[in-house]
Structure 1
Amino acid sequence: MTPESAATYLLAIFLFAITPGPGVFALIATGMNAGFRGCLSLAVGMTLSDVLYLLLATFGLATLAEHWGEVFGVIRVLGALYLFYLGWKLWTSSTQDEEMPATGANGGALAGVTQGFLISASNPKVILFYIAFLPTFVDLDRLGGASLTLLVALTVVGLMSGLCLVAAGAARTRRIFRSSRAQRRLNRGAGSLMIGAGALLIAKS
């Protein structure tokens, strides 16, 4: 991979990270409710899922994964139901002290990582992205250990940079709304985003 290809790949991964979809909507909702720190574990989970698909594509297993329709269907439904649950929790909460259980202080980092992983892993767009995208930058048949390490590093940096940018914007919105009434409206807006993310996940074919 040439320096130009590496830079182009990094930019493409960054843009892919901030493209609206179930993961971005869930991240915005989390940032609006739990702040920037509450988003970090969610972003890590999403990034781990993408790295897994990158490795699958690299070792020629992505096509097999793409055809595990029933397995991904079950994961997608479970992920969507969980997002519906989080959306309902946000709708029924009224103050900023009642944070979302998945990625707030009460939910723990592991819950956030799991949620992010499920959202990204159940999105067929992620699989197809790496299947169609990687061969334009590297020859997968001649990919060595050093090049693979570079690809993984670029993917992690690009994704985390984009996702953290989204999270920071959502967290800034949260800080604006300080009164109980405004916080209640913010929670309901975040809950609607969570429910919308779940609906998008269900609608994915």
Structure 2
Amino acid sequence: MTLESALSFFVVVVIFGLTPGPGVFAILARALMDGARPCLALAFGMAISDILYLVAACLGLAVIATHWGELFTVIRIVGAAYLIYLGWKMWQAPTDVEAMERKAKSSGVALSFLQGFLISASNPKVILFYIAFLPTFMDLGALSSTDIVLASVLTLIGLMLGLMLIAVFASQARRYFRSHTAIRRLNRGAGSIMVGAGAFLATRN
């Protein structure tokens, strides 16, 4: 991978990270409820899952997406159900600021990472993105381990940058919601976004 192709690949990954989808909706909902910091582990989990798809695409495992469609359908439905469950939990979230802050602090990093990983892993079409764009940036016929490592690092940095930009902007908007009524609307709005993301994922073909 040349310097020019590496920079181009990085820009495309950042744009991909900003593109609306289940992962972006999850980051948006979490940042609106808990602020930007709790989104770090969530975004990291998504990035790691994406990197696994990237490596799979690099190693020629795209055949899984075409021949194991039933498995990916199960993964997609489970992921959609999980997003809807998270949305329901957000609807029932407390409406006082102190309780929200305690909830944010009590959310384990490992759990947030797992949530992010599952959200991204439940969208197998991510691999199609890498399958479509990788030939533009590297010679897959002469692919080296260095190329795979470089692409993985660029993907990690690019996705984290894109997702955390969304988290920061959403967190800034959150500061304007301090009353019980506003927080209730915020919780239900974020929950509706998450349920919508689950429904969107469930209806994807």
Would you call these one fold, judging by a TM-score over 0.5?
Answer: yes
Matched ranges for 1:102-113 at <5 A: 104-113=104-113
Q: Secondary structure at the match of 1:24?
A: helix
Q: How far did residue 166 of structure 1 move?
A: 0.7
Give the partner amino acid of 2:21.
G
Cα deviation 1:35-93 (Å, max 9, x = unaligned): 11111111011101110011101111122244322222222222111211111111122
Q: How far did residue 197 of structure 1 move?
A: 0.8
Moved over 4 A (4+): 97-101
Matched ranges for 1:132-143 at <5 A: 132-143=132-143
Give the partner amino acid of 2:15.
L
Give me the TM-score of the superposition, normalised by structure 2: 0.93
> Aligned partners of 1:99 and 1:141: how far apart in 2?
51
Q: How far did residue 117 of structure 1 move?
A: 1.3
- The residue number in structure 2 matching 1:79 is 79
Matched ranges for 1:39-188 at <5 A: 39-93=39-93, 94-99=95-100, 104-188=104-188
> Aligned partners of 1:76 and 1:96: how far apart in 2?
34
Q: Which sections of structure 1, spanning at least 5 residues, go unmatched? A: none
- The residue number in structure 1 matching 2:25 is 25
Q: Which sections of structure 2, spanning at least 5 residues, go unmatched? A: none
Q: How far did residue 139 of structure 1 move?
A: 0.8
Q: How far did residue 125 of structure 1 move?
A: 2.6
Q: Secondary structure at the match of 2:37?
A: helix
- The residue number in structure 2 matching 1:12 is 12
> Aligned partners of 1:115 and 1:73: how far apart in 2?
19
Give me the TM-score of the superposition, normalised by structure 1: 0.93
Relative to structure 1, the CA distance from residue 157 to residue 91 in structure 2 (aligned partners, 3 Å threshold; closer, same or farther) is same
How large is the Cα RMSD of the aligned pairs?
1.8
> Aligned partners of 1:100 and 1:78: how far apart in 2?
29
Relative to structure 1, the CA distance from residue 97 to residue 89 in structure 2 (aligned partners, 3 Å threshold; closer, same or farther) is farther
Q: How far did residue 104 of structure 1 move?
A: 3.3
Q: How far did residue 113 of structure 1 move?
A: 1.4
8 Å contact kept, 1:26–1:194:
yes
8 Å contact kept, 2:65–2:124:
no
Q: How far did residue 97 of structure 1 move?
A: 4.2
